[in-house]
Amino acid sequence: MSPMKKKKIFAICFVVGMVGGYYYYQSLEQSSKEIVNATPKATETTATETTEHTAVTISDVLDMAQSARKHLSTTLNDYTARFVKQEVDVNGKLTPESEIQLKVQTRCRNKNNDAPMRVYLAFNAPQNLKGREVIWGADLFDGTMAVHEVGLLLGLKTLWLDPTGFLAMQGQRYPISEIGIMRLIDKLIERGEKDRDNPDISVNIIEDQMLDDTPTKVIQIRRSKPSNQEDDFSLAEVTLDPERQLILGYRAFGWPDEPNGEPVLLEAYTYHDVRINVGLTDADFDPKNSDYNFPAL
């Protein structure tokens, strides 16, 4: 092997090692941090409040979700939002809360509901991820996602990662292809169908709840006892914007560690400041966009 080839192989191994070490370090750092007040409590109202509570069935919830899905499949082409999430990752650790500026072109922007989904993410929090940018599209970059990482070394080059690979999934519960309001509705329907005839499920709707400046209703789904489902939960909460038929939030809680204890947060996703059909273009999903900070390709 020539000295030049040896140098190239060494350089490639060095970069891969640096990337792997960086993501592994981030995972350790996130797992070892004490997460203060990391587990939100379930939505509660007091007896003195005039908020209306309505008992419904899981079939009623599925009807609402199906109606929203049908409506948005012909009206929601794209949207922007401030996306806040917190979840237990694939290693069983509760991650710090992330705040992300989000742009999405949906699959529903053509008549067949099969347009290529595209996503742009810009991280604002946590602090160690602030400045990270990600672009992924079902029809872009041969299936990889473009990542502008933070840090002195990794920030110098655009990384191309497998969305379901080890590096991309560090600190994540789901791959980037699962993000978005439409996928949230699909997940609600999928989970709800499993419990359509479950006698251990009760459903309650809390009316007149505000998310930022948006009037919403919160649908609470409770289990009276654990199930053998992989995605088991003791309580799930769905935040619905009834006017626009947008599901703006979803939270799922596991079972308390102790009798009469607080339920344990499994995942929480909230879409703030949602603006729909803003006219996103190819440029919004191009690393060469001058508004972005991807290194020169």
Residue 7 — φ and ψ, nearest 5°? -65, -40
Q: What CATH number is attached to the domain comprising 148?
A: 2.50.20.10
Secondary structure of residue 24 in the 3-state scheme: helix
Judge whether 147 and 26 are in contact, CB under 8 Å. no
Is 17 contained in some domain? Answer: no
Is 185 contained in some domain? Answer: yes
The pLDDT tens digits of the residues spanning 194-242 come to: 899 999 999 999 999 999 999 999 999 999 999 888 888 999 999 999 9
Is 244 contained in some domain? Answer: yes
Is 136 contained in some domain? Answer: yes
Contacts of 264 (CB under 8 A, 6+ apart): 39, 253, 254, 255, 256, 257
Single-letter amino acid, residue 200 = D
Judge whether 234 and 256 are in contact, CB under 8 Å. yes
Neighbour-count burial for 192-203, b at 16+ CB within 10 Å, e otherwise: beebeeeeebeb
Is 123 contained in some domain? Answer: yes
Number of domains in the chain: 1
Is 45 contained in some domain? Answer: no
Q: Note if the bond before 126 is cis, omega within 30 degrees.
A: yes
From CA 291, how far away is CA 57, in angstroms rounded?
47
Quote the pLDDT of residue 39: 52
Domain span including residue 164? 53-285
Is 101 contained in some domain? Answer: yes
Question: Is this model's pTM higher than 0.85 or not?
Answer: no
From CA 16, how far away is CA 280, in angstroms rounded?
34
Chain-centre distance for alpha carbon 44:
24
Enter the tokens of residue 128: 């160690």
Is 15 contained in some domain? Answer: no
Please list the pLDDT of the chain residue by residue as tens digits (297 residues).
544 443 443 343 333 333 444 443 344 344 434 343 445 666 754 333 445 667 789 999 999 999 999 999 999 999 999 999 999 987 888 999 999 999 999 999 988 888 999 999 999 999 999 999 999 999 999 999 999 999 877 778 999 999 999 999 887 889 999 999 999 999 899 989 989 999 999 999 999 999 999 999 999 999 999 988 888 899 999 999 999 999 999 999 999 888 888 889 999 999 999 999 999 999 999 999 999 999 976
Quote the pLDDT of residue 19: 43
Cα separations (Å) of 196 from 58, 113, 188, 190, 191? 6, 26, 12, 10, 9
For β-strands 246-253 and 235-241, DSSP reports them as: antiparallel
Quote the pLDDT of residue 56: 86
Cα separations (Å) of 142 from 38, 136, 139? 37, 10, 7
